[in-house]
Structure 1
Amino acid sequence: MEFRTLRVFVEVVRQGGFSQAARTVFATQSTVSKAVKQLEEEVGLPLLDRIGHRSVMTAAGEIVYRRGLKLLADRDDLSAELDELRGLKRGVLRLGLPPVGSSALFAPVFARYRQRYPGIEIRLMEHGSTKLEDILRAGEIDFAGLLAPMSADFDWQGVRSEPLVALLPQDHPMAARPALRLTDLSEMPFIIFDEGFTLHRLVLERSREAGFEPTVAAESSQIDFMIELVAAGIGVTFLPRMIATQRQHGQVRQVTLKDVGMVWNMTMAWRRGAYLSGAARAWLAMVGEVHGRPDAPPPAGG
Structure 2
Amino acid sequence: MDIRHLTYFIEVAKQKSFTRASEVLCLSQPTLSKMVKNLEEAMDVELLDRSSKKVVLTVAGEIVFEEGQKILNSFQDLSSLVNDMMNLKKGKLKIGVPPLIAVLYYPKIIREFKELYPGITVQLIEKSAAEVRQDVKDGALDFGVDLLPVEGEFDVVPSIDEEMMLFVHHSHPLAAKEEVSLIEIKGESFVYFQESSKLRQLVDQECSRLGFLPTISYESYNWELISEMVAENLGITIFPKSVVKKVDLSRVKAIPIVNPTISWKLGIILNKEKYVSYAAKEMIKYITSQFR
Task: State the alpha-carbon separation in 2 of the partners of residues 119 and 89 from structure 1.
Answer: 6
The alignment covers a number of residue pairs equal to: 289
Look up the equivalent residue of 1:130 and give its one-letter code: A
- Report if the CA contact (8 A) 1:7-1:72 is conserved: yes
- Once the two structures are TM-superposed, the CA of residue 171 in structure 1 deviates from its matched residue by 2.8
3-state SS of paired residue (1:146) = strand
Map 1:249-264 → 2, pairs under 5 A: 249-258=249-258, 262-264=262-264
Task: State the alpha-carbon separation in 2 of the partners of residues 174 and 239 from structure 1.
Answer: 16
- Report if the CA contact (8 A) 1:93-1:120 is conserved: yes
Task: Look up the match of 2:218.
Answer: 217
Task: State the alpha-carbon separation in 1 of the partners of residues 201 and 60 from structure 2.
Answer: 31
Task: State the alpha-carbon separation in 2 of the partners of residues 50 and 190 from structure 1.
Answer: 48
Map 1:49-198 → 2, pairs under 5 A: 54-55=54-55, 61-86=61-86, 90-177=90-177, 178-181=179-182, 184-186=185-187, 188-192=189-193, 198=198
- With 172-181 and 274-283 compared, the bigger mean Cα shift is at 172-181
Q: CA RMSD in A?
A: 3.5
- With 72-81 and 105-114 compared, the bigger mean Cα shift is at 105-114
Task: State the alpha-carbon separation in 2 of the partners of residues 59 and 216 from structure 1.
Answer: 46
Per-residue deviation, residues 89-131 of structure 1 (Å, max 9, x unmatched): 6322333333323355334432332222222233333333232
The sequence identity of aligned pairs, in percent, is 25
Q: Are residues 80 and 218 of structure 1, via their aligned partners in 2, closer, same or farther at CA, if it must alter by over 3 Å?
A: same
Per-residue deviation, residues 52-79 of structure 1 (Å, max 9, x unmatched): 5x54556655544333332221110011
Runs of 5+ in structure 2 lacking a partner? none
Task: State the alpha-carbon separation in 2 of the partners of residues 216 and 125 from structure 1.
Answer: 30
- Once the two structures are TM-superposed, the CA of residue 160 in structure 1 deviates from its matched residue by 1.0
Look up the equivalent residue of 2:160 and give its one-letter code: R
Q: Are residues 49 and 268 of structure 1, via their aligned partners in 2, closer, same or farther at CA, if it must alter by over 3 Å?
A: farther
Map 1:285-296 → 2, pairs under 5 A: 285-292=285-292
- Once the two structures are TM-superposed, the CA of residue 201 in structure 1 deviates from its matched residue by 4.5
Task: State the alpha-carbon separation in 2 of the partners of residues 80 and 240 from structure 1.
Answer: 35
- Once the two structures are TM-superposed, the CA of residue 241 in structure 1 deviates from its matched residue by 1.4
Q: TM-score, normalised by structure 1?
A: 0.77
Q: Are residues 6 and 104 of structure 1, via their aligned partners in 2, closer, same or farther at CA, if it must alter by over 3 Å?
A: same
Per-residue deviation, residues 222-267 of structure 1 (Å, max 9, x unmatched): x332211112233333211122354243332323445769432222
Look up the equivalent residue of 1:167 and give its one-letter code: F
Runs of 5+ in structure 1 lacking a partner? 293-302
Task: State the alpha-carbon separation in 2 of the partners of residues 153 and 144 from structure 1.
Answer: 13
Task: State the alpha-carbon separation in 2 of the partners of residues 258 and 65 from structure 1.
Answer: 50
- With 43-52 and 184-193 compared, the bigger mean Cα shift is at 43-52
3-state SS of paired residue (1:159) = strand
- Once the two structures are TM-superposed, the CA of residue 194 in structure 1 deviates from its matched residue by 8.4
